Amino acid sequence: MLRPYKESRAVVKRCLIVDLGLVGYADAYALQKRVVAARKAEAIGDVLLLCEHLPVITQGRNGKREHLLVSENLLRQRGVEFYETSRGGDVTYHGPGQVVGYPILQLGEIRKDVVCYVRSLEEVMIRVTAEFGIAASREAGKTGIWVTESEKTFTQSPQRTQSSQREEKAPEKLGAIGVHISRWVTSHGFAYNVATDLRNFDLIVPCGIAGRKATSLEKLLGRAVDLAEVKPGIAEHFADVFGFEMQGASRGELLEQLEIAERQITVPA
């Protein structure tokens, strides 16, 4: 079981967790940058922002514009925004029904290992998925977590299972990751599809991987799933994997802390 951070530290650190609710991408990105600046200045502790986004397609540093399959004009007609961002990765979609997590952590105080950090974010989503009886996994050379349709056929008869395996689809992506690290402070993060409108992934080549589809917890379970069923598990497993004690706070409380931190940063010593 992956516990790379918890076992590497004798002292449990606190991490503030703030649920922003449904928020536009630009607003969340601006807030994220403020938290990152304060964290770099050591004027604030580690923070995990959770949110849902209004429909938006984002392109990472390594993204290719041809992976956006429609014009920006058509996106506007459909009420979908488009942003180029500083995260790693290619093109992805965010929207209602998806839990987006932005961990802003000082890895210099944890472990300076980018690969370990990304694998740990995957581990959080894998453990959350397991709570719903679904086995998600990693794929070599591909960031994120994936689910194979055959995972849902093993309880059927052997003859039906063998047939299902022959017709097995390629694994579908349930959770995506795209991060940015500067001076060992992390930003951006993960997106976990709970009840996401998967049709919007048809507007792009998700994460630049042709021939692969996105899936959602709702699709896999065949029932409606509320984000309130999922967020507590994300907080619990994030704490466990990273060795944090999570401390809840409202957006207003976070902004108060940021204002104090920013005054400390700007006032000469």
DSSP conformational letter for 208: G
Report d(CA 206, CA 202) in Å as an integer.
8
What order do you get walking across the sheet with 56-59 strand by strand? 81-84, 56-59, 91-94
> Taking the CA atoms of the chain, what radius of gyration do you get in angstroms?
19
- The total of other beta-carbon atoms located within 10 Å of residue 83's CB is 12
8 A C-beta contact, residue 189 and residue 179: yes
207 is catalytic: yes
Residue 121: C-alpha distances to residues 21, 100, 211, 269 (Å)? 20, 12, 24, 37
CB neighbour list of residue 94: distance below 8 Å, 6 or more residues apart = 25, 53, 55, 56, 57, 58, 100, 191
Question: What's the CA gap between 136 and 132, in Å, rounded?
Answer: 10
Residue of 15, 51, 116, 207 marked active site: 207
- Give every CB contact of residue 114 below 8 A, 6+ residues apart in sequence: 107, 179, 181
Residues classed as catalytic: 207
